Chain A
Amino acid sequence: MENARRVISVIVLNEASVLSRIVGLFSGRGYNIESLTVAPIPDSKYSRITIVTAGSLRVIEQITKQLHKLIPVLKVYEHADLVEKEMAMVKIPMNESLGDIEALAHAYNGRIVNVGSDTLIAMVADEPSRVGHFLEAIKRFHPKEIVRSGSVALER
C-alpha cells in the first residue's frame, strides 16, 4: 500500500511531559513525523497537537489507536476532509525589489511584515503545497533565512 500523507490532530491534557509521550510513541514504534504543531486550546486544560505523518492505511490506523491508548489523550482525529494551513517567513536582503516581493507574497496570502536597514521579512500563510511553491518562487530574491511552521488543520 502506498505511503499517503496524513494529518492527525491529537487533543491532550496540558500536563508535564505529554509532548514527549506523543513524540516517543512515534519514534519508539518507527513512525515518521513530517511536521508538528502544538498550542494550548484557549479556555481549556487541553492542547491541540497537529501531526503530519506518512504511512499506509494500516500504519495510520495503528498510530491513531496507539495514540488513543496514551492516558492523557482525549481525542484523536484522523482528518479526511479538512482545511489545512501552514505559514512561512523569509528574510531577504534589502537590495531586492520590494514591489516584486510584496506581489509574490500577496499571491500566497501574505505580505512584507518587517523592513530593517539590511533585510526585510515576508510571510505567507497558505496550504502546505502552496507554501512550498512560494518557497520555490522566492529563491530568485536570494533569501538569507527561511522558517516554515508545521500544519494546523480543521475538519470542514
Chain B
Amino acid sequence: MQISGAQMVIEALIAEEVEVVFGYPGGAIMNVYDEIYKQRSFQHILTRHEQAAVHAAEGYAKATGKVGVAMITSGPGFTNGVTGLADAYMDSIPLVVISGQVPMSLIGTDAFQEIDAVGISRPCTKHNYLVTDAADLPRVLKEAFYIARTGRPGPVHVDIPKDVTAQIATFDYSKEVELETYKPTTKGNARQIKKAIEAIAAAKRPLLYLGGGIVSSGAADLVREFSKMTQIPAVETFMARGTLRFDDPLLISMLGMHGFDDRVTGKLSEFAKNAQIIHVDIDPASVSKLVHAHYPIVGDVKNVLEQMMPLAKEQIDPVRYAPWLNTIANFNKLHPLSYTEEGDRLKPQWVIERIGQLLGDKANISTDVGQHQMWTAQFYPFSRPRQWVSSGGLGTMGFGFPAALGVKRADPERVSINITGDGSILMNIQELMTAVEYKLPVINVILNNNFLGMVRQWQTLFYDKRHSQTDLSIQPDFVKVAEAFGGVGYRVTTKEEFDAALKDAVEKNVVTIIDVVVNRFENVLPMVPAGGSLFNMMLEYKEK
C-alpha cells in the first residue's frame, strides 16, 4: 500500500486499536491532523494545552492498562508536552507521544518552532525516534507501541518532520516486532524463587511490600490470593494503592511512596537493617539500586507469583505468623492513622473519607500534588487497582485534572474525581473547556486552605514558620470560574453543604468544581524529615 507518512500514522493507530488520541495541532503536525479530520476510527480530544494532552493520555493509560496516545506539534507544542513525558517516565506509564518536527531540510537551522525534540526527550523517555524517511514509519510506530507496553512500561516519543508526513512510501504494518537488542525478561529464575520461598517459610515476621509494578502487570488478583493463602501482612507503596482492598485485615497501611526511593527509606543505613529482602522487579536496574536485595528476582511480578504459588502452598505455614500479626495489630492500635476534628472548619481528611463513604468503589480517584494527595492516599478506601491515579515520581502539580479527563474517557460508567488543592488546580484549569466540549463530567474537589500546603507545612516545621511565597490568600472565585467555562461550581464550608454538593455534582452531566474551605494549618502525618531514619518518624504535631 503506497500512502503518505501522515496516512501511515493513522493506519498504525488503527492497527494498534487506539480508540482515543489526546492532542493539539500546529504547523509541523498539520499533515497528520488533516488525515485525522478524514477518519472515523478513533476520537481526537482537543485539550487546551499540550501538557494536558499528555497527562490525559497518562490518565487513560493508568485506568485501562493500554498505551495512551498524545499528539503535539514541534517547538513549544513539544516542550509543553515534556512534563507529561517525564511524569510518565517516572511512573512507568505506557505512552506513545507523536510530535511534528520542522522539515528535514530546515533541521539544525533554528527554524520557526524548531527544537531538538529527541535531544530533550532522551533522558525522560523509555525510547525515542526521529523519523527521517517515511519508509521507516511503519516499523518505528510498531516498535514504539511494543516498547511502551512491554518490560517496564514507559513513554516512547516519535518525532516526525513535516516533509516525512507528506512523503509517499510503502505501508506494511507487520504483526511481529523483532528487536535483537531488546528482549525484556518476564519469567523469574526458578532457583532464586525456590530459595525465596524457603526464606519466607523460615521467617518469623515476613512482610509483603507491594509496589506499583503489581498494578501495571495486572497481578493484583494473584497478590490477593497469595496474601490470603500465606496470611502474610502487607504494606502498599503510594503507587500500589488498591492492590489489596482497604478493609483487608492483612493490609497494614501505606509505606511512603515509590519503591525504595528516598521518601520510603529515609536514611538508607537504618532501613530494615535486620531484614532479609526478596526483591521482585521487571527492571534489573531497580533491584539493589538503593537497598541491597538478598534474593533478587528479575521478572514480571505476575509470572513470578504464578511460579511461586505452588511452592508457597507446599512450604508456607500460615499459622506460623499469628504472633507477628498480633504484634502488628497492637502497632495499629497504638498509632492508628487518624485526625482530630476541631473548630468550625472542615478537616481535609474528613472530606476524603466522606467521598469514600458516599462513592467508594463507584469513583476513580485522581489527584494533583501536595497535602491533598498524601491525605487521599492515606484516607481514601481504595478497593481495586487502577482506581487510583496520581503523579508519584515526578510530583507534577497540574496532573490531576487532565488525568481525570483521561480516566473518565476510559471508564465513563464510574465517577471521575480529581481531588486537588487551591495551588494545583490553577496549573491546568483551562481543561474545564475540554471537559465541557467532550462531555467529560469530572468532579474537581479543591481542598482549599489558601496555602501551598505541603511547602507551608515544611516551612512551619523546618523554617521557623517563615511562609515564603506559599500564602494563597488571593484567589479567584472558583464557582464563577467553573461557570465561565460552562461548568458548575459549589463553595462549601460545612459537612451538610459538602454532602449536598457532591450529590448534586454526581447527578450533573457536566464538569464541576467543589471548592471546600478547610482548616488552613492541617499537617500531613506521620512524616519523616528528609534524610532522617524511619525511627525518627513524626507521628503527631500540635500547632502552637
**Which A residues lie at the B interface, using CB under 8 A?**
12-13, 16-17, 20-21, 24-25, 28, 58, 61-62, 65-66, 68-69, 71-74
Contacts and interface: CB of A to CB of B under 8 A. Distances in A.
Given A17-B118, A17-B119, A69-B283, 16 more contacts: A13-B181, A16-B132, A17-B130, A20-B119, A20-B122, A24-B122, A24-B123, A25-B123, A58-B288, A65-B285, A66-B285, A68-B284, A69-B285, A72-B181, A73-B181, A74-B180
Interface string B298-338: 00000000000000000000000000000000000000000
A65 B119 CA distance: 22
A69 B185 CA distance: 11
Interface in B83-129: 118-119, 122-123, 126-127
A74 B182 CA distance: 8
A62 B288 CA distance: 9
Contact size range, B: 10 to 19
Nearest to A65: B285
B179 interface: yes
B123 A71 contact: no
A74 B179 CA distance: 10
A62 to B, nearest CB: 6
Contacts, number: 38
Q: Is the interface of A mostly helix, strand, loop or mixed?
A: helix
Interface in B245-303: 283-285, 288-289
A71 B289 contact: no
Contacts of A72: 181
A69 B179 CA distance: 13
20 contacts: A12-B181, A13-B180, A13-B181, A17-B119, A17-B122, A17-B130, A20-B122, A58-B288, A62-B289, A65-B284, A65-B285, A66-B285, A68-B284, A69-B283, A69-B284, A71-B126, A71-B147, A71-B182, A72-B181, A74-B181
Nearest to A17: B118
A114 to B, nearest CB: 36
A137 to B, nearest CB: 43
Contacts of A28: 123
A68 B285 contact: yes
A71 B144 CA distance: 11
A123 B10 CA distance: 58
A121 to B, nearest CB: 35
A61 B288 contact: yes
Contacts of A21: 122
Contact of B181 (A16, A25, A71): A71
A74 B130 CA distance: 20
Nearest to B288: A61
A149 to B, nearest CB: 27
A71 B179 CA distance: 9
Contacts of B123: 24-25, 28
Contacts of A17: 118-119, 122, 130
Contacts of A24: 122-123
A68 B119 CA distance: 20
A13 to B, nearest CB: 6
A95 B285 CA distance: 56
Contacts of A20: 119, 122
A20 B122 CA distance: 9
B49 to A, nearest CB: 27
Contacts of B180: 13, 74
A146 B521 CA distance: 65
Contacts of B288: 58, 61
Interface in B9-67: none
A25 B179 CA distance: 21
Nearest to B151: A69
B311 to A, nearest CB: 27
A69 B132 CA distance: 24
Contacts of B119: 17, 20
Nearest to B130: A16
A66 B289 CA distance: 10
A58 B132 CA distance: 39
Nearest to A63: B285
A72 to B, nearest CB: 5
Contacts of A73: 181
A25 B122 CA distance: 9
B219 to A, nearest CB: 21
Interface in B181-223: 181-182
A74 B183 CA distance: 10
Q: Please give me the 5 A-B residue pairs with the lowest Cβ-Cβ distance, nearest first.
A: A65-B285, A71-B127, A74-B181, A28-B123, A71-B182
Q: Which of A17, A58, A71 counts the most chain B CB atoms within 10 A?
A: A71
